[in-house]
Structure 1
Amino acid sequence: MSGKVGSVTRERYDELVKLGRDWVATMSSAQWRLGDAAVEIEPMRSYGGANPSGKDDLFTVSEAIRMFAEDVGLAYTTVRSYRWVSSRWPKGRRRADVSHTIHKILASIPDEQERFEAVANPPPNPRGGQPRWTHDSAKRVVGWKVDSPESVQEKVEALHDLASDDAVAAVVTTDFLRRPAIASRAMADDTARHAVTDFGSSG
């Protein structure tokens, strides 16, 4: 395949992808090991049980994990996250060809069996080739907002996020209504038309 990707040839890009996957695998291995160590230091505990208030128990867990994080040179929140991900994925259920980051996203699937089945069945690759998990495809499975919207609904949600500030929304709406096709469709919507009419009459 000819052409360039960014500033490199396609051939060099493919080499870097292969290297990158090796690096990610190495990084994931370290993340799993740190998470497993944190679980060994403080196994996951359910709320309630022998200590319904959870106060002393949770404090002890927090302090032990915080100490471990400081002693290995990581943030407490990072190690706490690794610990949770390890607890959601028994060693026999982890996929070497799927990054720790993807496992972390899919860890949010509540049902254990559904979670294990999901990681083993990546969606089709939008650029062709073998099915492979991406950050966004994993987010779609768990219902999170994606980084690169593709569907109309995802793009609409992204626009809503960007225009959550009223001042921004007003500028965007004004710009959009200057486009005849959009203005026509907006005024054809009963709710939108009544909202504009009501606002004008109240002003």
Structure 2
Amino acid sequence: MEKGDGPADVPLFWSQEGRTAEIVRCHLGHLAARETFEAVGGCPYCNHTPGERVAAVRAMDWGRRKRPAEKTATADRRYFELVGQGTELVNRARAIQFELGDLALDVEPLGEGRVQEPSLLGELAKAVGMRPASLARYRRVAAAWPQDKRNTCASWSVHAILAGHPDRFDIINHPPQEPKPGWTCEAARTAMRSS
């Protein structure tokens, strides 16, 4: 494959004639079989995912564009406004899962030992337009994490993974520092395996 100047010249997946393996190139240029990339969820050499490669290619393309200086300042300002709006939406999305779980706890608390026909939780799920199993999971996680014990720096998914950890209230406030600081789902799974 020839190297080109733009992202159009660097496809995510390509095959060499006469070869049976489909070859993948990450945005740093590492080559491996497509099956290997899919098995490890990204580049086996640098751990970059295909999404990161697409983002890098788009950023490279964005950097090559020639724009007048006055438009650059406006575009940069708009970009930061959009990042702020996106961050706010992500934070609201995290809070919504806990809020739905808290509502479900109000409707049908855990551990009361009663069987209701039909289930109030099922009725609530149907009324709000979601699956009862999802609402039951939100309720279970909300019950495991009282509002004053939740960590706003950790995602709802991390809270869900750590919900059964015996020291969850302490551990959530001490995120791992390796391989990168902060909680990820994989770090939470590792903490659960080691408990």
Please tell me the residue identity of whatever aligns with 2:171. A
The alpha-carbon deviation at position 28 of structure 1 amounts to 1.2
Change (3 A) 1:108 1:124: same
Out of 83, 90, 97, the residue aligned to residue 31 of structure 1 is 97
Task: Provide the identity percentage.
Answer: 28
The residue aligned with 2:158 is 102
* Superposition pairs of residues 22-171 of structure 1, within 5 angstroms: 22-45=88-111, 54=113, 57=114, 59-60=115-116, 63-109=119-165, 111=166, 114-127=167-180, 131-143=181-193
> Does the Cα contact within 8 Å between 1:25 and 1:97 map onto a contact in 2?
no
Q: TM-score, structure 1 length as denominator?
A: 0.53
Q: TM-score, structure 2 length as denominator?
A: 0.55
Q: Which secondary structure state, in structure 2, belongs to the residue aligned with residue 60 of structure 1?
A: coil
Number of positions where the alignment pairs a residue of Structure 1 with one of Structure 2 = 125
Gaps of 5+ in 2: 1-27, 29-52, 64-75
- Looking at structure 2, the residues matched to 45 and 123 of structure 1 have their Cα atoms a distance apart, in angstroms, of 33
- Looking at structure 1, the residues matched to 172 and 118 of structure 2 have their Cα atoms a distance apart, in angstroms, of 29
> Does the Cα contact within 8 Å between 1:39 and 1:87 map onto a contact in 2?
yes
Deviations, residues 79-131 of structure 1 (Å, cap 9, x unaligned): 0000000000111001111111110001021x2xx11011101101424xxx2
Change (3 A) 1:23 1:126: farther
- Looking at structure 1, the residues matched to 109 and 169 of structure 2 have their Cα atoms a distance apart, in angstroms, of 21
The alpha-carbon deviation at position 6 of structure 1 amounts to 3.4
> Does the Cα contact within 8 Å between 1:39 and 1:83 map onto a contact in 2?
yes
The alpha-carbon deviation at position 62 of structure 1 amounts to 6.9
Identify the range of structure 1 (117-126 vs 35-44) with the bigger mean alpha-carbon deviation: 117-126
Deviations, residues 31-77 of structure 1 (Å, cap 9, x unaligned): 1110000000111116xxxxxxx5xx2x3187111110010011000
- Looking at structure 2, the residues matched to 29 and 97 of structure 1 have their Cα atoms a distance apart, in angstroms, of 11
Which stretches of structure 1, 4 residues or more, deviate above 2 A after TM superposition?
3-12, 14-24
Please tell me the residue identity of whatever aligns with 2:126. E
Alignment root-mean-square deviation, CA? 3.1
> Does the Cα contact within 8 Å between 1:42 and 1:61 map onto a contact in 2?
no
Please tell me the residue identity of whatever aligns with 1:142. M
Change (3 A) 1:106 1:18: farther
> Does the Cα contact within 8 Å between 1:24 and 1:99 map onto a contact in 2?
no
- Looking at structure 1, the residues matched to 117 and 139 of structure 2 have their Cα atoms a distance apart, in angstroms, of 11
Change (3 A) 1:19 1:121: farther
* Superposition pairs of residues 183-198 of structure 1, within 5 angstroms: none
**Higher RCO structure (Cα 8 Å, ≥6 apart):** 1
Q: Which secondary structure state, in structure 2, belongs to the residue aligned with residue 6 of structure 1?
A: helix
Gaps of 5+ in 1: 47-53, 145-203
Change (3 A) 1:68 1:89: same
Name the one with the larger helix percent: 1
